[in-house]
């Protein structure tokens, strides 16, 4: 940009404002990595968990879900690293982060309460309902339709889940992560490539 003294007409000023606001808006930083990692790992856990119980009646297979703690630790390090290289902080990014924090807290509480009351059959339908919330809101916040559709898919699966045999419900979770995180994750990755 040229030195400050250059005379600007009113039209040029408005054009400059518009162009700079667009430049800031197009600084698209969501590359979909976390959606893809969480999506694939949860899908893997769903398939292993279902196969272990349905085909082999092997109860300890439930421990496969402990893999999620490994992903959680990875996520903490990933976010810390991202913060170091990030050059801007946006209002949408901040709201989005709080949406996912709220989701995580609700998720932990739902699992905790269902376990206390031994209502295990409620866990999957409630998880489907919860998955829809941050996915839908993130889609609205970052204006990304596939996430909005993914969130709606989770809620549709939550409606279906009470009518499905409990041992098959975990497969609905798998379908939910494909619709809500894996497909939008790849589309986000593509959008990031195109815009940066």
Partner 1 sequence: MDFKELDPILHSQLRLAVMSLLISVKEAEFTFLKEKTNATAGNLSVQINKLKDAGYIDIIKQFNNNYPQTICKINDAGIAAFENYVKALKSYMSL
Q: Which residues bind partner 1 (CB under 8 A)?
A: 1-6, 8, 10-11, 13-14, 16-17, 20-21, 23-25, 27, 84, 87-91, 93-94
Q: Which is nearer to partner 1, 89 or 118 (CB)?
A: 89
| Positive/negative CA dihedral, 41, 68, 30, 76 | negative
Q: Which is nearer to partner 1, 56 or 91 (CB)?
A: 91
The least CB distance from residue 87 to partner 1, in Å, is 4
Contact in structure between 121 and 151 (CB atoms under 8 Å)? no
Q: Which is nearer to partner 1, 10 or 59 (CB)?
A: 10
What is the Cα–Cα distance from 107 to 181, expressed in whole angstroms? 16
What is the Cα–Cα distance from 135 to 35, expressed in whole angstroms? 10
Contact in structure between 44 and 177 (CB atoms under 8 Å)? no
The least CB distance from residue 147 to partner 1, in Å, is 21
The least CB distance from residue 107 to partner 1, in Å, is 27
The least CB distance from residue 77 to partner 1, in Å, is 15
Q: Which is nearer to partner 1, 94 or 195 (CB)?
A: 94
What is the Cα–Cα distance from 10 to 14, expressed in whole angstroms? 6
What is the Cα–Cα distance from 131 to 114, expressed in whole angstroms? 16
């Amino acid at each position: 940009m040229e030195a400050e003294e250059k005379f600007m007409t009113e039209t040029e000023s408005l054009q400059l404002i518009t162009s700079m606001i667009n430049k800031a808006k197009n600084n698209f930083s969501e590359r979909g990595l976390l959606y893809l990692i969480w999506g694939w790992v949860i899908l893997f856990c769903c398939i292993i968990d279902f196969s272990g119980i349905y085909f082999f009646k092997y109860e300890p297979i439930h421990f496969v879900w402990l893999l999620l703690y490994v992903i959680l630790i990875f996520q903490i390090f990933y976010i810390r690293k991202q913060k170091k290289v990030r050059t801007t902080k946006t209002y949408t990014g901040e709201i989005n982060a709080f949406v996912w924090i709220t989701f995580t807290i609700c998720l932990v509480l739902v699992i905790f309460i269902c376990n206390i009351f031994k209502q295990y059959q409620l866990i999957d339908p409630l998880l489907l309902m919860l998955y829809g919330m941050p996915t839908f809101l993130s889609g609205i916040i970052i204006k990304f339709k596939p996430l909005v559709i993914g969130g709606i898919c989770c809620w549709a699966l939550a409606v279906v889940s009470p009518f499905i045999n409990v041992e098959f419900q975990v497969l609905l979770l798998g379908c939910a992560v494909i619709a809500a995180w894996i497909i939008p994750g790849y589309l986000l990755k593509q959008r990031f490539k195109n815009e940066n």
